[in-house]
Amino acid sequence: MSNEVQVSDVIDNSRMGTVHWRVMLFCTLVVVLDGFDVQAIAFTAPAIGVDLGIPGHQFGTLFSAGLIGMAIGALLVGPIGDRWGRKTAIIGSLIAFGCFTLATAWATTYNELLMLRLLTGVGLGGALPNATALMSEYSNRAWRNIAISIIFLGIPVGGVVGSLVAGLLMPVWGWQSVYVVGGVLPLLAAVLLGRIMPESIRYLATLSGRNEQIATTLNRIDPDTTYHAEQAFRVEQAPSDSGPVRQLFAPGYGRDTLLLWAAFFTNLIVVYFLIAWTPTLFESLSDEPGQAVKGGLVLNLGGAIGPIFLAGLINRFGSKRMLPIIFLLGMVTIVAMGQVTHSANLVTVGIFMAGFFTFGAQIGMNSLAASIYPTASRATGVGWALGIGRWGSILGPVIGGLLMAQELGMPVYFTVFGSILAISALVIALVARHQQAVVRG
């Protein structure tokens, strides 16, 4: 046996076994808790407004505060994962957003809520890039796109769990009970995962003195081969010896980094326009009650199914070919949807497909970001792409509101936002480092 072992090659060529599925379960749990807490304000806003005397229009700022916090958290906590480990960053993020969510239960003023939502967002924003990096570094090549898509389904699952919890507890215990549950669960998860969740084996291979731990884990991942602590375990090299953020602009990486940021920014403008204004569109189609909720449900249903299906296509044909096509199909769907607002059935199909393509493209780009950068800067690369993209998520609803204030009509609104996806398609096609198609034997 060779005395040097490429850890990435072992993982890429391994079968998905117990170790891989456990890591997927842990990462999904983190994202479910993230999805619960990020959407808690939406479930509780009406009750908080009545209890604390906060006008409805002020909750827009509270929603934005959480998104701004998530942008900051993605930018700050991603590098922590590269310096001190994915596990350390994930546990720290769980503790942070757990504590601030729990503290929200005792908020009594608008300003307290605003600050707590901002701080909660910082913790939430740090969890996603590190969970993405950890899942990427434990998945084999054939499953990587699908595995990352699966863990990101935790966001809508967390929303569903949160809505059920709110429906059960709020009538009895008030809106504060949602934040008690949303705060305690991440803190319990931090204790549990701190004991049983493994650190990224690729990250460990960048450190000294971890050979025994690496060899033990590799023997579980690849039981047909025996690894021992005397071997030299290697991973792909960092592009430079500078800090993780500077590595994003090392020779050969800077252009791809800027293009990736542009794709994240533009797609999330469209995604959050759809999230913010789809219920309004549905409400305008009918006088029947509950149409706004139906619109959000249809959008998220498409967004839940799309990532899994499209991840399989990216695996088969590669991201260079598929991601631009997905963006263009999303553009056509959204533009066409604006032209058929006279038909509730066509709009329903259009909204489902809009969620299918835009959410699917976003999860595909998360996976692409994880594949572009080497181990030493992977969490930073994903975190900064998500962080830059978050500013697009803040901008999307604002632009939508400004356009609607001009009363230009639904065809104009959806044509403008659909056309933005053409930019996403162009810039992602120009990225040099793409995921190759998985060749199946």
Chain segment 81-92, per-residue pLDDT in tens: 888 889 999 999
Helices (H), 222-343: 244-247, 254-285, 291-317, 319-339
Cα 112 to the center of its chain, rounded Å: 27
Q: What DSSP state is assigned to residue 56?
A: G
pLDDT tens-digit readout, 185-219: 999 999 999 999 999 888 888 888 888 888 888 88
Joined together, the tokens standing for residue 90 give 């994930």
Domain-located, residue 413: yes
In a domain, 236, yes or no: no
Side chain identity at residue 221, one-letter code: I
Beta bridge partners of 4: 232
Angle at 417 between CA 424 and CA 152, to 5 degrees: 60
Within this chain, do residues 251 and 192 fall inside the same structural domain, yes or no? Answer: no
The answer to whether position 227 is within a domain reads no
pLDDT above 60: residue 1: no
- Would the pLDDT of 440 be above 60? no
230 lies in some domain: no
Q: What confidence tens digit (pLDDT) does each residue in 334-350 have?
A: 999 888 877 878 888 99
Token pair, residue 123, equals 């913790």
Q: How far apart are CA 11 and CA 203, in angstroms?
A: 13
Radius of gyration of the chain measured on its C-alpha atoms = 22
Convert the pLDDT of each residue in 6-20 to its tens digit: 888 888 888 888 888
Mean pLDDT over 365-371 rounds to 87
User: Looking at per-residue confidence, does 364 or 436 come out higher?
Assistant: 364
Domain boundary among 134, 166, 201: 201
Q: Which two tokens stand for residue 352?
A: 């489902």
Distance of CA 407 to the CA centre of its chain: 33
Residues 271 and 411 reside in one and the same domain: yes
CA dihedral 100, 104, 106, 110 (to 10 degrees): 130
pLDDT at 89: 94
Tell me how far apart the 2 most distant CA atoms of the chain are, in Å. Answer: 72
Q: What pLDDT, on a 0 to 100 scale, did the predictor assign at position 293?
A: 58
E strand or H helix at 232: strand 232-234
Is 216 a member of any domain?
Answer: no
Q: For the segment 293-348, what is each residue's pLDDT rounded down to a tens digit?
A: 577 678 878 888 888 889 889 988 988 899 999 999 999 999 998 888 778 788 88
Range of the domain at 112: 8-201
Based on the fold, state whether residues 252 and 306 are members of the same structural domain: yes
Which residues, in sequence order, are CB contacts of 410 under 8 Å at separation 6+?
Answer: 281, 338, 341
Extract the runs of DSSP E, i.e. beta strands, from 17-99: none
Would you say residue 292 has pLDDT above 60?
no
> In CATH, what number is assigned to the domain containing residue 22?
1.20.1250.20
In angstroms, the Cα distances linking 304 to 150, 194, 414 are 9, 29, 22
Rounded-to-integer distance, Cα 412 and Cα 19, Å: 50
- Same domain for 249 and 183, yes or no, is no
The pLDDT of 413-434, averaged and rounded, is 93
Q: Decide which of 137, 171, 201 is a domain's last residue.
A: 201
Q: Are residues 140 and 266 in the same domain?
A: no
For the chain, how far is it from start to end, CA to CA, in angstroms?
25
Residues 184 and 295 in one domain: no
User: Which of 235, 206, 209 is CA-nearest to residue 10?
Assistant: 235
Please report the pLDDT score of residue 441 as a whole number: 44
Q: What is the pLDDT of residue 403?
A: 80
Distance separating alpha carbons of residues 47 and 326, to the nearest angstrom = 40
| Pair 180, 316 in one domain | no
- CA-based nearest residue to 375, from 77, 73, 136: 136
Kindly state whether residues 17 and 161 are assigned to the same domain.
Answer: yes
Q: Take residue 294 and report the two structure tokens written for it.
A: 């139906």
The reported pLDDT for the residue numbered 191 is: 96
Structural domain includes residue 215: no
- pLDDT of 417: 92
- 257 and 175 housed in the same domain: no
Average pLDDT, whole number, for the chain? 85
CB neighbour list of residue 369: distance below 8 Å, 6 or more residues apart: 132, 260, 264, 381, 382, 385, 386
- Residue 179 makes CB contacts below 8 A (sequence gap 6+) with 40, 44, 101, 102, 104, 105
Per-residue DSSP letters for 343-387? Answer: -HHHHHHHHHHHHHHHHHHHHHHHHHHHHHS-GGGHHHHHHHHHH
Is residue 57 a part of any domain in this protein? yes
Select from 149, 182, 201 the last residue of a domain.
201
Give domain status of residue 335, yes or no. Answer: yes
Query: Using CA atoms, how far apart are residues 411 and 339, in angstroms rounded to an integer?
Result: 5
Q: Which residue do the tokens 């990101």 mark?
A: 152
Does 283 have pLDDT greater than 70?
A: no
| In a shared domain, residues 306 and 397 | yes
Q: What is the pLDDT of residue 430?
A: 95
CA 278, CA 289: separation in Å to the nearest integer?
15
Both 283 and 174 in one domain: the answer is: no
Q: In the chain, how many domains are there?
A: 2
Same domain, 195 and 248: no
Per-residue pLDDT tens for 90-99? Answer: 999 999 999 9
CB 103 within 8 A of CB 183: yes
